[in-house]
Amino acid sequence: MRIAIISDIHFGNAECSLSNADGSLNEITFKKFTDAVFKLSGSHKLDYLVLNGDILDFAVCSFQKSIKNARYFFEAIEKSELCTDIIYNPGNHDKFIWDSYEWEQTIINQMKNQEDPLPFKRNAPGFIDMTKENSILEVYKPDDSNGCNWLKIASDQNSQLGDIFLKGLLPKGSKMKMNLVYPNLFLNTEQGTIFVTHGQFLQTMWQLISEIISGYKDKKIKINETLNLQEIEAFNYPITQLVGSSLGQAEAVTNLAQAIQNEVEDHDKYSVTRTVNHVAPRLFNLYNKNWFIKIIYRLFQNFITREIISFIVGTNDNSSKKYLQSLNNIDVMSRFRRFYDASVDQMQRIKPSFKNPEHFIFGHTHEAHPTPFIPKSNSILPENLKLYNSGGWLENSNKSKVKSAVVFYIDSSGKIEHEMI
């Protein structure tokens, strides 16, 4: 069994290092990628290439642009014979892939047959037991709302999760299977269980509602203090829908958001200043009818505007690039533990033979950490849990390339190896 893991390519984003300016494949970078994989695998073909989230960038790019650019990559994967099958585990920027599957299965197909919609499944974890010969990916879906009962999706139907949406990324006639899991993949190996997830649930935005609403009780509604993974996904759905793909489909507003994002990364205030100067007075006049506050705003307008701009530009200093440092923060660690416990509880219900994970591979932060690390303040985390981060494939706007993309490689022995791109 040979598996490679990458994340955070962000096809559609202008800073994607695997795409040229016209959207075509950057063949130099792609060759570095395939060379790295074949070096790790000893020139053998992978059984699975795991795309661990944010491969397509729907959050800040249109569906059309992201998919068009990504097709070049998948066509090259096919030609290079890099892998037999692909496992796609959506992240925050491409969560629409999972959502599209949910809508297709629970609403659209039901209504086509004049039947009532079904409840959303919320997740479909994947499992590979690498200790067994000829093992294959197994995907499960919940059979109830509390996560106690699970149905295995037949092995010959695994690719159907991806066929609904993702098969169109592959060349016509491709024999590769596009398997969809969400939000976790578990690998059982001789050296322990490896937990693979994108990592968005470790940040506030992806657990915000569940954090503040858990434990709520009144005469009609009771919400548990400890939530399962389906509840975490469901409760935060309103926010994840907004940040997952909505902004990327706003046309001119999308372009403005991209310009602001790129400039903030370079500490350039031009677009931010023009946007704040345009929007702030309109928002203030629209929502504030108090004449006294209007006078105060007029008197301090320049100061208020300046502070807003400084705050937006300054957020880059505390961006996800420094997120791994925040793992020493007790609030972040607590969020990490909630997600970990809910995920492992789900794993143990489905695969009781899998031991508690000893390795945790994630992306999301664009801060590569190819060797295992344990946060300094790790008393909240399970003992001896080793963390790895796969970095990302984005260049900054002035194209000064930083070695930040990691290819992880795992064989049947369970040893985790890597190459930097």
At 287-296, the pLDDT tens digits run: 666 666 666 6
The torsion defined by the Cα of 381, 4, 365 and 192, in degrees rounded to 10, comes to 0
How does residue 330 score in pLDDT terms, banded at 50, 70 and 90? Answer: confident
With beta carbons less than 8 A apart as the criterion, state whether 69 and 19 touch.
Answer: yes
Q: 49 pairs with which residues across the strands?
A: 4, 86
Query: Is the pLDDT confidence value at 322 over 80?
Result: no
Residues 43-54 have a mean pLDDT of: 97
Q: Distances in Å between the alpha carbon of 133 and those of 46, 130, 257, 412, 413? A: 15, 7, 49, 9, 12
Q: Where are the domains of the chain?
A: 2-212+320-420, 249-317
Q: Name the residue among 274, 383, 364, 356 with its Cα closest to residue 324.
A: 364
CB atoms within 10 A of CB 228: 22
pLDDT for 374 = 80
Q: What sections of 244-386 are H helices per DSSP?
A: 252-265, 270-287, 291-299, 301-314, 323-326, 330-350
How does residue 304 score in pLDDT terms, banded at 50, 70 and 90? Answer: low
CB atoms within 10 A of CB 128: 24
How does residue 149 score in pLDDT terms, banded at 50, 70 and 90? Answer: confident
pLDDT for 316 = 47
Q: Name the residue among 374, 353, 364 with its Cα closest to residue 406.
A: 364
With beta carbons less than 8 A apart as the criterion, state whether 410 and 416 touch.
Answer: yes
pLDDT for 399 = 47
How does residue 202 score in pLDDT terms, banded at 50, 70 and 90? Answer: confident
How far apart, in whole angstroms, are the C-alpha atoms of residue 85 and residue 169? 13
How does residue 274 score in pLDDT terms, banded at 50, 70 and 90? Answer: confident
Q: Is the peptide bond before 352 cis (omega within 30 degrees of 0)?
A: no
Amino acid in the structure at residue 344: V
Backbone φ and ψ of 270, nearest 5°:
-60, -60
**% of residues, the chain, pLDDT over 90:** 56
Q: Name the residue among 9, 7, 13 with its Cα closest to residue 62.
A: 13
With beta carbons less than 8 A apart as the criterion, state whether 183 and 197 touch.
Answer: yes
Residues 32-41 have a mean pLDDT of: 98
With beta carbons less than 8 A apart as the criterion, state whether 9 and 19 touch.
Answer: no
Gyration radius of the chain's alpha carbons: 22
Q: Distances in Å between the alpha carbon of 40 and those of 5, 36, 260, 375? A: 12, 6, 39, 28
How far apart, in whole angstroms, are the C-alpha atoms of residue 242 and residue 239? 5
CATH number of 2-212+320-420: 3.60.21
How far apart, in whole angstroms, are the C-alpha atoms of residue 326 and residue 322? 7
Identify the residue whose tokens are 């504030």. Answer: 288
Terminal Cα-to-Cα distance of the chain (whole angstroms): 23
How far apart, in whole angstroms, are the C-alpha atoms of residue 94 and residue 156? 25
Strands of the sheet containing 150-153, edge to edge, are 150-153, 138-142, 126-129, 184-189, 192-197, 357-362, 386-389, 369-373
pLDDT for 311 = 52
Query: Is the pLDDT confidence value at 389 over 70?
Result: yes
How far apart, in whole angstroms, are the C-alpha atoms of residue 268 and residue 270? 6
How does residue 320 score in pLDDT terms, banded at 50, 70 and 90? Answer: very low
Query: Is the pLDDT confidence value at 77 over 70?
Result: yes
Strands of the sheet containing 177-180, edge to edge, are 177-180, 83-88, 46-51, 2-6, 406-411, 416-420
Least confident of 93-102, 157-166, 240-249, 372-381: 157-166
Q: Distances in Å between the alpha carbon of 255 and those of 12, 261, 350, 359, 403? A: 12, 10, 44, 39, 27
Q: Per the structure block, which two tokens stand in for 321?
A: 């690039």
Which carries the bigger pLDDT value, residue 59 or residue 156?
Answer: 59
How large is the angle between the packed helices 301-314 and 291-299, nearest 10 degrees? 70
How does residue 395 score in pLDDT terms, banded at 50, 70 and 90? Answer: confident
